[in-house]
């Protein structure tokens, strides 16, 4: 009896074994591919101020929730950030997936098609909760092109203890004459206290942000209705002369090198009796972990002179996605998270409610915990909502913007004029020389750009 199984009977079994081995091979291959897949990298260009440093610190929460996304940070000084972002967007080099830009760049770049429109946000983002003036400032032709990380105006900070010691009272709405009188009385250079700290570092978004509001309230403007430069005028001479004299007499040494961060350090360490700058600094100055004078800070409106128009600015540092982003979907997910109610809650838990990004969400200003921690909250919201980019000068002008002119050429114009004024502050030239040089260069730029007919 033949007990040997015919060879043909092994075929079904062998086929089943081959199929099983093939399936295992495919499964292992898929697992290997998934394991070796690199997360999507999102490169973020931002500035080196405390709010953005906090964002970087808390971004590990985003990466844990989104393990398929890796964040790469490029943190730069403000003027360098502006240069790098502008170069990247104009050359279409695509180095950055997210850019920190402001209310000056966003509408201009959106109009030129350089930014991805902000659309398709998650339902729980609640865009209607974002302050309207912030949304409007980051839109062009009704389309939003960036989401505000924080929104600011400008205000006066002062040391209540120093004022009390001299028997001085800061009014709710000071004038520049009063500010000068206070600064003269409070300056104690031998004791290391300076009556006033103001931006002196050259830059269209540094010293010129402050100086432009000063010029506005002194009755001046950058241009007349026909786009002729107005720098060599009595209003500019009065404003810039006041500014340089005040800082040279009552300001800290090296004031021409001080921007927002430098003055924040001086004020929070007790070196300044007064400081006129961004409302966003309020949360930092009132934070005992960051400020040595947190319990001594008072606040008032930005000062006025001839007119209240344009005396306090409107600005937002916002997160935008360039059209050249290599990871736009992942970038949008990050931008939505960084400007969300969830993120504000994370900052409150980490730093306290007084340190949360200001000016962006109505729900923040309605929160009892925030109002308790930030006694300046209602004041700041009012300053933001009353700053009017469409009516910021005493005389009619053809441009919009409070502390800047909303045209592409202003970045160059403001930088050049800012350098001249910083030079005058440092004593390298006179105010008259600085303004005549600024007048000539600005008029030439406007003629070349075709504004002057």
User: Mind listing the domains of the chain with CATH numbers?
Assistant: 40-152+315-374 (3.40.190.10), 154-312+391-448 (3.40.190.10)
Measured distance CA(435)–CA(374) in Å, rounded: 40
Question: pLDDT at position 12, please?
Answer: 45
Q: Are 318 and 104 in contact (CB under 8 A)?
A: no
Question: pLDDT at position 102, please?
Answer: 96
Question: pLDDT at position 133, please?
Answer: 87
Q: Are 333 and 66 in contact (CB under 8 A)?
A: yes
Residue 14 falls in which region: left (phi positive, over 0), alpha (psi -120 to 50) or beta: alpha
Question: pLDDT at position 94, please?
Answer: 95
Residue 192 falls in which region: left (phi positive, over 0), alpha (psi -120 to 50) or beta: left
| Whether the predicted pLDDT of 162 surpasses 60 | yes
Q: Are 377 and 370 in contact (CB under 8 A)?
A: yes
**Alpha helix stretches (DSSP H) within 166-277:** 176-186, 207-217, 234-250, 260-268
Q: How confident is the model at residue 30 (pLDDT cuts 50, 70, 90)?
A: very low
Q: Which of 12-21, 210-219, 384-393 has the highest mean pLDDT?
A: 210-219
Phi, psi dihedrals of residue 102, rounded to the nearest 5°:
-125, -170
Q: Are 185 and 195 in contact (CB under 8 A)?
A: yes
Measured distance CA(223)–CA(253) in Å, rounded: 33
| Whether the predicted pLDDT of 82 surpasses 50 | yes
Q: Are 182 and 309 in contact (CB under 8 A)?
A: no
Strand 143-144 and strand 139-140: the pairing is antiparallel
Residue identified by tokens 């800070």 is 297
Question: pLDDT at position 79, please?
Answer: 87
Question: pLDDT at position 123, please?
Answer: 87
438-449 exposure pattern, b = at least 16 Cβ within 10 A, e = fewer? bbebbbebbeee
| Whether the predicted pLDDT of 33 surpasses 60 | no
| Whether the predicted pLDDT of 375 surpasses 50 | yes
* 56-65 mean pLDDT: 98
Measured distance CA(28)–CA(113) in Å, rounded: 45
| Whether the predicted pLDDT of 15 surpasses 80 | no
CB within 8 A of 393, min separation 6: which ones? 216, 220, 221, 309, 310
CB within 8 A of 54, min separation 6: which ones? 347, 350, 351, 355
CB within 8 A of 338, min separation 6: which ones? 55, 59, 62, 147, 149, 319
CB within 8 A of 207, min separation 6: which ones? 199, 200, 201, 259, 418, 421, 422, 425
Q: What is the CA radius of gyration of the chain?
A: 28
User: Hey, what are 101's tokens?
Assistant: 């830009």
Question: pLDDT at position 338, please?
Answer: 98
* 41-69 mean pLDDT: 97
Measured distance CA(85)–CA(99) in Å, rounded: 7
Least reliable range by pLDDT among 30-34, 38-42, 239-243: 30-34
């Amino acid at each position: 009896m033949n007990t040997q199984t015919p060879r043909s009977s092994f075929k079904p079994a062998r086929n089943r074994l081959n199929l099983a081995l093939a399936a295992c091979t495919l499964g292992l291959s898929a697992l290997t591919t998934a394991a070796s897949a690199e997360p999507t990298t999102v490169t973020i260009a931002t500035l080196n101020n405390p709010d953005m440093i906090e964002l970087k610190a808390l971004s590990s929460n985003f990466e844990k929730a989104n393990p398929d996304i890796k964040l790469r940070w490029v943190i730069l000084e403000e003027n360098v950030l502006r240069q790098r972002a502008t170069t990247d967007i104009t050359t279409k080099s695509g180095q950055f997936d997210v850019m920190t830009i402001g209310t000056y760049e966003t509408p201009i770049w959106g109009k030129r098609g350089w930014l991805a429109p902000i659309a398709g946000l998650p339902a729980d983002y609640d865009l209607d909760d974002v302050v309207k003036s912030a949304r409007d400032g980051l839109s062009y032709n009704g389309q939003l092109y960036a989401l505000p990380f924080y929104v600011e105006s400008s205000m006066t900070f002062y040391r209540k203890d120093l004022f009390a010691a001299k028997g001085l009272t800061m009014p709710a709405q000071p004038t520049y004459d009063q500010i000068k009188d206070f600064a003269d009385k409070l300056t104690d250079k031998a004791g290391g206290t300076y009556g006033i700290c103001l931006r002196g570092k050259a830059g269209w978004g540094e010293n010129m942000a402050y100086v432009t509001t000063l010029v506005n309230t002194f009755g001046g403007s950058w241009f007349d209705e026909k786009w002729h430069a107005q720098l060599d005028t009595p209003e500019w001479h009065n404003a810039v002369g006041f500014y340089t004299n005040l800082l040279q007499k009552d300001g800290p040494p090296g004031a021409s090198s001080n921007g927002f961060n430098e003055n924040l350090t001086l004020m929070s360490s007790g070196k300044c009796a007064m400081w006129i700058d961004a409302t966003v600094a309020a949360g930092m100055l009132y934070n005992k972990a960051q400020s040595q004078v947190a319990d001594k800070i008072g606040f008032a409106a930005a000062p006025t002179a001839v007119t209240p128009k344009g005396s306090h600015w409107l600005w937002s540092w916002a997160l935008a996605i360039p059209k050249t982003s290599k990871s736009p979907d992942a970038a949008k997910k990050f931008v939505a998270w960084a400007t969300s109610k969830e993120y504000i809650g994370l900052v409150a838990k980490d730093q306290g409610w007084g340190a949360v990004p200001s000016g962006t969400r109505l729900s923040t200003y309605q929160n009892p915990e925030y109002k308790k921690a930030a006694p300046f909250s209602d004041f700041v919201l009012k300053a933001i909502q009353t700053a009017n980019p469409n009516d910021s000068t005493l005389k009619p002008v053809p441009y919009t913007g409070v502390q800047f002119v909303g045209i592409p050429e202003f970045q160059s114009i403001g930088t050049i004029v800012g350098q001249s004024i910083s030079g005058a502050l440092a004593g390298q030239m006179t105010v008259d020389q600085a303004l005549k040089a600024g007048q000539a260069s600005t008029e030439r730029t406007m003629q070349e750009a075709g504004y002057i007919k």
